[in-house]
Amino acid sequence: MSTSLRLFFALWPDDASRRALAAEAENLAPRCGGYPLPAENLHITLAFLGSVDASRLTPLLELTQTWPALESVWTLDRLGHFPQPRIVWAGGAAAPALSALYEALWSRLSSHGFKPPHRAFTPHVSLVRQATRPASRSSLATSIQWRFDHLALVASARGESGSRYRTLARSRAPQAHDFD
């Protein structure tokens, strides 16, 4: 009997961005009627694959581990609300590097039989779930400069206390340059 994993590709925030986003989520949750996502779960989903048969995992691990090193910044400066599935999120204009990464990833995933979503890419970080109303403001109090340096293949498992994420593979980190 074959097993399946619930998979997605994500970018994880650097520590400073994670702290700032977690603080924003804590402040917003009481005002939006939902609950803040745990700091360790804050991420940008680049490609949600859903339930994937374990037999398809090896090529996805290889794709991730051989991905070129990343090094870019995304500025988050606004708040938004998806009425369904009741999410308050932080986002900003898509940085060219972020959009290029999204397109390149889906191009590679297509060669493995995965279909990109039909909707436009809206880069965002979910902050509050089960939000009964949007944030009372449309921008973050202070913009956040999120530095991203690796792509991650992540397995998600639902539990009583919410989703738990486990990184299965990650791309290479940028190499320090020798300036001698």
Residue 143 near residue 76 (C-beta atoms within 8 A)? yes
Which residues form the catalytic set? 43, 124
For residues 49 and 46, give the distance between their C-alpha atoms in angstroms, rounded to a whole number.
10
Taking residues 141-158, what's their average pLDDT?
92
- Average pLDDT on 89-103 reads 91
* pLDDT computed for residue 178 by the predictor: 38
Of the candidates 16, 11, 18, the one whose C-alpha atom is nearest the C-alpha of residue 154 is 11
Instruction: Please give the mean pLDDT across all residues of the chain.
Output: 91
At residue 180 the predicted structure's pLDDT band, cuts being 50, 70 and 90, is very low
Residue 18 confidence (pLDDT): 95
CA 34 to chain centre: 20
**DSSP designation for 66:** T
**How far apart are alpha carbons 64 and 77 in whole angstroms?**
29
pLDDT score of 179 more than 90: no
Over range 147-169, report the average pLDDT: 89
**What average pLDDT score do residues 31-50 get?**
95
pLDDT-derived band of residue 176, with 50, 70 and 90 as boundaries?
low
Number of Cβ within a 10 Å radius of residue 56: 16
Reading the block at residue 50, the tokens are 């859903």
**CATH topology (fold) of 4-170:** Cyclic Phosphodiesterase; Chain: A, (3.90.1140)
